[in-house]
Structure 1
């Protein structure tokens, strides 16, 4: 039985990365205090109290050592991805989890979902080994959701935009702010969090979605200002892909377009991800707490778009191991029918 997932994913900030030799896996002794000062300067980080700064430094030192050790293993060929110190580098695991990856659930029966009729159909056969919608021309800005937990809005809006591109060849940026402000009527909680399913039901019932230019993102919840006459895309239906079926995701990304997915962003390696194919055995598939967009795939990996700015991951994207339900990527995947 699937429980409705509410995502709280306040993970976007404007920031700069501390440039060091960590990507090379250099394990030589480091002056962590000096690196912390660089981190504060590069990220314009200020702390209200001395205790807060001391606590943040301890977390930074711990994370820096993790990054250094991990990247040394990468250099030796033992890891398939690298880490880097970013805006989360001064956060402890506990602070990261409690402050940025809170998860709420409500009791909704799985039978309430519209399960996509894609398994067993011709769409499941003759799938390409690789596909990247960016190479086909679907290139959108590197969004930063900032301090608003709106990953659900970005994921669904971008997925719809991908379908519009597939049909028309035009890149259309759709309003995430409309979803943040207006979908509370269908169970979402603005910047506190929301779910893919609630968002799809809202868009199907409300009469469509406006353009970003007409309803701009402000990273905080406001009053609903949806204007039906300015709606540019109507959602006629929506579908949830079969649980734990990555081939169904591959078929949907190929034939439908980019697909919104839920994922477990809990591990420290996810927090500090830099580049490469993410593959962490400690990233459980038992629960999910963030929403991203599958924008393509290779033979052994998925390509995901995130909403944490271009300095996180691979210019705002992530590659993650395919075929093992890494981080629960196949737990809950959805798309709208436009």
Structure 2
């Protein structure tokens, strides 16, 4: 019956000869759908806040329905008192399936995709000495707070990746510049993500379709990275490589450490030198995340290592992670995930990696 009513509603809109705008039509049709005035106002204000507009009435009504469904789920989640709060955000008019297709990577990674190939043949003793650099030791003490460690002040602000599976380029470039800055090699500045998307291409580096962070580290070491303003502005697309060679990080990565299935002690050890990249299973809770500790126990639809992020620290019961969805998402672009508790409720952190800077 509901589908019939909706079909008639859409037919009525198509036959309308009114000059009302899409938004005006939308508000009127929400009245017909018995959406109360309070919810209408919330949706209208949300559209204004995020600059949303729709091409036609069909799309507007469809997005309104998804928004209301998401709003109901958010209210239900917050009512049960979970460790994290859900909230409306720029994703609230979309469902998980379409968002995951747009924003996550869809690649099957093998161990070969996570081999760096050390061109300098550094020994374990050499690597240990590089990790105990005096400047890094001093910065580490500043980042440590009791049993916690937080490199938030040593990473750049979060940038939004948009509808492009380029999280691998964001996470690897962010970790690379942080670790270069921690060793006093470079200033902490935004590196160009489009430079990696356009120029760092290969078997498992496919621009907006995903890529290997270790492949990005290898590219930076061999070709150098560029600052954000030295390459074309980020627009969530892959184009022809215009400037393959940069200067930042070139020849400065001695090796890349990786752990395929890390436990807390291994992640803790990795973080002593600075932030690390990680591949994670991202579920629908991420798209409604508004703060607190994600303690998701079900991973509906999260069947792949779909998202690359930057782990910046840890506390008593959580990891702190930088995402690539912009400062308006989560906790100023960051989020927390549970690191203690029942195994089935721990967030799925896999394949951490990080460059060792010379």
TM-score when scaled to structure 2? 0.73
1:93 to 91, 96, 99: 96
> 1:210·1:226 contact (CA, 8 Å) conserved in 2?
no
1:326 to 346, 350, 353: 346
Which residues of structure 2 form unaligned runs of 5+?
1-35, 119-123, 132-143
In structure 2, the partner of 1:266 is: 283
Deviations 1:73-121 (A, max 9, x none): 22xxxx1110110111111233223333351225x3469636998xxx9
> 1:113·1:239 contact (CA, 8 Å) conserved in 2?
no
1:238 to 256, 260, 285: 256
Q: Give the CA deviation at 1:164.
A: 1.4
**Structure 1 stretch 243-252 or stretch 284-293: which is displaced more?**
284-293
Do structure 1's residue 144 and structure 2's residue 151 form an aligned pair?
Answer: no
More helix by share: 2
Q: Give the CA deviation at 1:270.
A: 1.3
Do structure 1's residue 181 and structure 2's residue 198 form an aligned pair?
Answer: yes
The change in CA–CA distance for 1:217 and 1:299 in structure 2 (over 3 A counts) is farther
Deviations 1:137-179 (A, max 9, x none): 4142231222332110110111111211221184243232221
SS of the aligned residue for 1:332 comes to: strand
TM-score when scaled to structure 1? 0.77
> 1:297·1:303 contact (CA, 8 Å) conserved in 2?
yes
> 1:186·1:201 contact (CA, 8 Å) conserved in 2?
no
CA distance in structure 2 between the aligned counterparts of 1:190 and 1:242, rounded to whole angstroms = 23
CA distance in structure 1 between the aligned counterparts of 2:199 and 2:116, rounded to whole angstroms = 22
CA distance in structure 2 between the aligned counterparts of 1:244 and 1:231, rounded to whole angstroms = 29
Do structure 1's residue 336 and structure 2's residue 355 form an aligned pair?
Answer: yes
> 1:287·1:328 contact (CA, 8 Å) conserved in 2?
no
Residue correspondence of structure 1 range 240-319 to structure 2 within 5 A? 240-254=258-272, 256-267=273-284, 269-283=285-299, 287-319=304-336
Higher Cα Rg, which structure: 2
Aligned-residue CA RMSD (Å): 3.1
CA distance in structure 2 between the aligned counterparts of 1:57 and 1:213, rounded to whole angstroms = 38
> 2:84·2:292 contact (CA, 8 Å) conserved in 1?
yes
In structure 2, the partner of 1:66 is: 73
- Count of equivalent residues: 294
Residue correspondence of structure 1 range 196-215 to structure 2 within 5 A? 196-204=213-221, 206-215=222-231
